[in-house]
């Protein structure tokens, strides 16, 4: 038996971090995916992620992960990525004795583009098929969020929801996802700093800052709420300039929350200099990526960012998880 499932990564346009405190966020599923294939193996669970040179074994009983690559190679990666797979398989009660799991990953890891959510959602969907369980999209998104909580600590359901549903989404923890119909094109370029950000650590950093400076940080989170709501209107009404302006303000506030870095700032300003209407870090920050909104200037912004770091255009994927 061999089954496959795939799920998209995401880019957050507005509301990272503030979404953890119940504020709205706007995010899109991107045309870069994680594809997970599960087939029968001999014993334990063998995991391969060729793009990252990862080969590992999850022990069927202890669930401990052992790397099959040399320690130097293994050390290059955040070992957490295998934990998402292990916990996702365990959540659905998949027997870990005699499985081969292969992940085909188009999303750079730790780049703020939702690689862990996409891997989690695709692993759950593939495991559901493998174990012949009927799982609704809602249940899949809910379980994926539980996996993220278990592996990384504090996390909102934003990433796992976008990865499950696909499309252009306005999200609140209270009401879940609502699809947005944009009245404008959304040409986006990602600039990737090559330094992975650790979402758990960054979310915890903001939590501590809010605890020590509540009268400063709470109003910032309130303004982020206004930003996301205003951006939603502007996207629906096709107001390009305003969308860019709101992204730039959001970037300033993320800097104030302490999740910006010098490398991210450099990419943000160079993108604007090359003609982006708006640019900001996307995802947890602390490394990872920026996203630049560049109507009519995609080539110029791409060339500019490529001259400093990795950069690539991303399209919006209407397709969520498929299995
Ligand atoms: C990470 O992609 C987005 C954060 O808001 C964390 C979360 O929502 O879980 C930083």
- Cβ 19 under 6 angstroms from ligand 1: yes
- Cβ 203 under 6 angstroms from ligand 1: yes
Kindly state the average pLDDT of the residues 30-54.
94
Q: What is the mean pLDDT of the chain?
A: 94
Q: Residue 152 domain-assigned?
A: yes
For residue 87, the enclosing domain spans 2-179
Q: Residue 322 domain-assigned?
A: no
Kindly state the average pLDDT of the residues 107-135.
94
- Cβ 301 under 6 angstroms from ligand 1: no
Band (pLDDT 50/70/90 cuts) for residue 17 is very high
Q: Residue length, the chain? A: 323
Nearest C-alpha neighbor of 197 from the set 27, 78, 291 = 78
Kindly state the average pLDDT of the residues 292-309.
97
> Which pLDDT does position 294 carry in this prediction?
97
Max mean pLDDT among 40-49, 61-70, 253-262 falls in: 253-262
CATH number of the structural domain spanning residue 155: 3.30.230.10
For the segment 146-178, what is each residue's pLDDT rounded down to a tens digit? 999 999 888 899 999 999 999 999 999 999 999
- Looking at the fold, whether 263 and 236 belong to one and the same domain comes out as yes
Query: Residue 105: is its pLDDT beyond 80?
Result: yes
216 CA to centre of ligand 1 in angstroms: 20
283 CA to centre of ligand 1 in angstroms: 6
Tell which one of 284, 287, 288, 291 to mutate to probe ligand 1, the residue whose CB is within 8 A of the most ligand atoms: 284
Query: Residue 76: is its pLDDT beyond 70?
Result: no
Kindly state the average pLDDT of the residues 101-111.
93
**Residues 256-294 as b or e (16 or more Cβ within 10 Å = b):** ebbbbbebbebbbebbbebbbbbbbbbbbbbbbbbbbbb
For the segment 177-228, what is each residue's pLDDT rounded down to a tens digit? 999 999 999 999 999 998 888 888 999 999 999 999 999 999 999 999 999 9
- Looking at the fold, whether 193 and 138 belong to one and the same domain comes out as no
221 CA to centre of ligand 1 in angstroms: 14
Please report, rounded to a whole number, the percentage of residues in the chain having pLDDT higher than 90. Answer: 84
- Looking at the fold, whether 196 and 234 belong to one and the same domain comes out as yes
Band (pLDDT 50/70/90 cuts) for residue 53 is confident
CATH number of the structural domain spanning residue 290: 3.30.70.890
Tokens of 9: 């990564």
Annotated catalytic residue: which of 159, 222, 226, 255? 159
State how far the Cα of 58 lies from the Cα of 102, in Å rounded to an integer. 13
Given 153, 179, 205, the domain boundary residue is: 179
1 CA to centre of ligand 1 in angstroms: 36
- Cβ 20 under 6 angstroms from ligand 1: yes
């Amino acid at each position: 038996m061999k089954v496959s499932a795939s799920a998209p990564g995401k880019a957050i346009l507005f509301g990272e971090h503030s979404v953890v405190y119940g504020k709205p966020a706007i995010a899109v599923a991107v045309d870069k995916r994680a594809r997970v294939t599960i087939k029968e193996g001999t014993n334990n669970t063998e995991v391969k992620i060729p793009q990252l040179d990862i080969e590992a074994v999850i022990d069927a009983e202890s669930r401990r992960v052992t790397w099959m690559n040399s320690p130097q190679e293994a050390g290059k990666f955040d070992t957490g990525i295998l934990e998402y797979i292990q916990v996702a398989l365990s959540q659905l009660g998949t027997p870990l004795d005699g499985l081969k799991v292969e992940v085909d990953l188009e999303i750079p890891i730790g780049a703020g583009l939702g690689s862990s959510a996409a891997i989690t959602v695709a692993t759950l969907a593939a495991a559901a098929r493998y174990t012949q369980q009927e799982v609704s999209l809602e249940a899949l998104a809910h379980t994926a969020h539980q996996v993220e909580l278990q592996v990384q600590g504090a996390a909102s359901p934003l990433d796992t929801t976008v990865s499950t549903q696909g499309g252009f989404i306005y999200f609140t923890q209270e009401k879940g996802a609502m699809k947005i119909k944009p009245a404008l094109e959304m040409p986006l370029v990602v600039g990737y700093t090559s330094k992975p950000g650790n979402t758990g650590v960054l979310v915890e950093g903001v939590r501590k800052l809010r605890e020590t400076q509540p009268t400063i940080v709470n109003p910032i989170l309130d303004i982020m709420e206004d930003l996301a709501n205003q951006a939603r209107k502007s996207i629906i009404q096709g107001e390009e300039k305003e969308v860019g302006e709101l992204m730039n303000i959001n970037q300033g506030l993320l800097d104030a929350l302490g999740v910006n870095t010098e490398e991210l700032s450099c990419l943000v300003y160079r993108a604007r200099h090359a003609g982006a209407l708006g640019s900001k870090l996307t995802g947890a920050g602390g490394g990872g990526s920026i996203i630049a909104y560049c109507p009519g200037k995609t080539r110029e912004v791409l060339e500019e960012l490529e001259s400093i770091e990795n950069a690539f255009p991303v399209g919006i994927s209407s397709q969520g998880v498929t299995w």
